[in-house]
Chains A and B, each alone.
Chain A
C-alpha cells in the first residue's frame, strides 16, 4: 500500500501516522456523509431507500469476501450459501425461541462463521482452484440441506416467513425504518474490516495471499490464518444474510443462489480487491447496474424491435457479465485503484508525475 500524502503534511505522533482520518475537514465530510445517509428518509423516495438498503447489505457480504478473497487470496464462490445459513439461523431463533432480533443477529453471524469454518477445512490439503471447488460444494450442500432436513422446522423448498425485527414496540417493517439498522451494521463492519486489514491478522492474510510458502517459512501458521479468514468471511455473510432475510421477510433455499455468489465476487473485483473502499464502490456500481438493467430494459426493447419478451431479466446477467469482463481486462485493480490514481493526479497537479 503505497502511502501518498499531500505535500506539507507531517506526522507529529505515532497515533497521527496511523490515523485513517487525518484532517479536520475529512472528519467533517465523513460525518456529513453519514448524517446524510441516516436522514435519507426525510428527502429520498421509498425506492431509493430500499436501494440503499440493498447496497448496504451487499457491502457487508462483499467486505467478508474481501477478507477471504481480497486479502487472503482464497477464492470463494460460496458466499451466498453462508448468507443462507445466517438468514435461517436468525429467523429460526426469533420464530421458535422468541429471541430478540438484536441477539439473533450476532448468533446468526456466529453460526454462519462456524459452518464457514467447516467448509474451510479442505484448505488444509488443497489450495487455489481446488479450494474454490470446495466452496462451490457449500453452495450446493447448504441449500439442499434447508430443502430436505427438518421439514417441520424449515418447511422444505417453500421456506419460512421471517419475523419483523422490533425495538420495543417500534417495528422495523418498512425500508425507511429498516435503513438505520442496515446503516449501523455496515458502519460497524466497515470499521472492523478496515482495522483487521491493517492489524497483525491482516498482514498475515496478505502474506498468505502474496506467497503462501514464503509466509509459512516466516512462521505464519497457514491453516490457522486461512481458517480465521474463512470464519470472518462467513460471519460477515451471516450478518448480511440475516439482514437480507429480515428485510425480505421470507427465506428459502433460492433466496441466495450460486448466481448471487458470482455477483458478490464480481462486486469485489469491480470495486477493487484488498482495499477497504473496494467493497463499497463495487456493491454500489453493480447494484446500480442491476437497477439500470430494470430501467433500461423496456427502453432498449422499445427501440430495438426484436425481443423475446425477457429483455429485462436478460439485461441483468448480461450487463453484469460484460462489465465484469471489461473490468478484468482494462482495470483489474478495480475502482478503488482508479480513485487512488485520481487523488494522486489531483495532488500533483499541474505536474503529471
Chain B
C-alpha cells in the first residue's frame, strides 16, 4: 500500500464512478420497466457521443446545441429500437431477449464503424484541462499534509452525473408518468388491466435510457477522447448495476461509486499484480455479489412460487 496516494486515488475512484452511474441508470431504467437487460447500452452511449461529435465538429454547431440535438436523436433511437427489436420479443424466453440485445449491440457497433470510421478523434473540451482543483486534506504524511489534485472535468462530470441520477429518481417518485412506470415494473399484466398503456411506458423508458446513455457518452468522451472502444466502459457498469440491485435507481448510483472506489483503491497497491487487477475488479466484485447476495444491495428479492 502506498499510503500517500491513498486519498488521491480513493477520491478519483469515487468521482470516476459518476459517469458509470449514468450508464448504470440507463440499464436500470430499462430493466425496471420491462425486465430486459440491455447489453447494447454501450453502443447507445457510443452512438450518442459520435452524433454529438458529428454535429459539433463536422457541422460546426455550438457544442450545447449539438448535445441537445444528440439527446433528441438518441431518445428517438431508443424508441425505434424498442419498437422494432424488442417488442416482437414480448413473452419470449430469457435467452431470446438476451440474444436480441447482444445482436443489437453488434449491429449498432457495425453501424457506428460504417458511418463514422474507427479513428481516434478529439472531442470538444467542455471543462478547462488546465488549473485542476487542489484540496488540502487533514491527513498528514511525513509531516506534510496530503494534497488531492482533481481535474475539473472529473469533478464536473461527477456533479452532472449525480444531478442526472437525482433528476431521474425524482421523476420516478413525483410525476404521474413516473408512477405509471413504477406500477408497470411491479406487474405488466396488472398494470395493463388498470388501463396503463404499457407499450407507451416501454417506449418512454427506452427513450430515457437513450438520453442518459448519450449524457454519459458525452461526459466520458470529453474527458478521455472518443473512439469506437468507448462502449467498453459499459462493462464496468454491468457489475455496478448488479451490485446496486437490478431494479433500484439509488442502487445504480451507490453501486457505481463503490465500483469506482474499489478500482481506485486497487490502483494504490505497490504489488503490480494487484495494481493491474483494477481492470477486472468490477468482475471480482460481481462474482462476490452473485455468491453472497444475488439481489444486490438495494434490489428487490424475488421469491419463486410454484
A contact residues vs B (CB 8 Å cutoff): 69, 73, 75, 77, 121-122, 125-126, 128-130, 132-134, 136-137, 140-141, 144, 148-149, 213, 259, 262, 265-266, 269, 273, 307-311, 313-322, 324-325, 328-329, 332
B99 an interface residue at 8 Å Cβ cutoff? yes
Interface contact B114-A310, CB-CB below 8 Å? yes
When distances are taken between beta carbons in the complex, the residues of chain A under 8 Å from B100 are 324-325, 328
B235-248 CB mask vs A (1 if < 8 Å, else 0) is 10011001000000
Task: Give me 18 A-to-B residue pairs in the complex whose CB atoms sit less than 8 angstroms apart, sorted by A's number.
Answer: A121-B291, A126-B294, A134-B286, A137-B286, A140-B279, A141-B283, A144-B277, A148-B273, A308-B115, A310-B113, A314-B114, A318-B106, A321-B103, A321-B107, A321-B108, A322-B103, A322-B107, A324-B100
Measured in the bound complex, the distance between the Cα atoms of B262 and A333 in whole Å is 42
Known: A129-B98, A137-B286. A317 touches B110 (CB 8 A): yes
The answer to whether the Cβ of B222 comes within 8 Å of any Cβ in the partner chain is no
B110: contacting residue among A77, A265, A273, A316, CB under 8 A = A316
Chain B residues lying within 8 Å of A130, measured Cβ to Cβ, are 242, 290, 294
Residues on B with C-beta less than 8 A from A273 are 95
Report the Cα distance A319→B113, complex, angstroms: 13
Known: A130-B242, A317-B110. A136 touches B283 (CB 8 A): yes
In the complex, what residues of A have CB within 8 A of residue B304's CB? 213
- Residue numbers in B under 8 Å from A122 (CB-CB): 287, 290-291
> Is B89 an interface position by the 8 A CB rule?
yes
B280 & A140 in contact (Cβ 8 Å cutoff) = yes
Evaluate whether A310 and B118 lie within 8 angstroms (CB atoms) in the complex, with A265-B99, A321-B108 already known: yes
Instruction: Tell me if B179 is interfacial: C-beta within 8 Å of chain A.
Output: no
Q: A133, A269, A322: which contacts B99 (Cβ < 8 A)? A: A269
Determine chain A's interface SS by DSSP, over half rule: helix
Given the complex, which residues of A lie within 8 Å of B37, measured CB to CB? Answer: 129
Overall SS of chain B's interface? helix
| Number of residues on chain B facing chain A (CB within 8 A) | 45
Known: A69-B95, A144-B280. A318 touches B110 (CB 8 A): yes
Q: Does B105 contact A (CB under 8 A)?
A: yes
Smallest CB–CB gap between B241 and chain A, Å? 9
Identify the B interface with A (CB < 8 A). Answer: 37, 85, 88-89, 92, 94-96, 98-100, 102-111, 113-118, 235, 238-239, 242, 273, 276-277, 279-280, 283-284, 286-287, 290-291, 294, 304, 306
**In whole angstroms, what is the CA distance A309 to B235 when docked?**
27
Q: Are A332 and B92 in contact (CB under 8 A)?
A: yes
| Contact A141/B280 with A129-B37, A269-B99, A328-B96 known, Cβ cut-off 8 Å | yes
A165 to B67, CA, bound (A): 56
Chain B minimum-CB-distance residue to A217: B306
Report how far A320 CA is from B113 CA in the complex, Å: 14
Check A317/B106 contact, CB under 8 A, given A134-B290, A265-B99, A308-B113. Answer: yes
B118 to chain A, nearest CB (A): 5
Among candidates A73, A77, A144, residue contacting B102 with C-beta atoms closer than 8 Å: A77
Tell me which residues across on chain A come within 8 A of B110, comparing CB atoms.
314-321
Q: Are A308 and B114 in contact (CB under 8 A)?
A: yes
Q: Identify 17 new A-B residue pairs, CB closer than 8 A, beyond the known A75-B94, A133-B290, A310-B117.
A: A121-B291, A134-B287, A140-B283, A149-B273, A265-B99, A266-B102, A273-B95, A308-B117, A310-B113, A310-B118, A317-B107, A317-B113, A318-B111, A320-B106, A322-B107, A324-B103, A328-B103
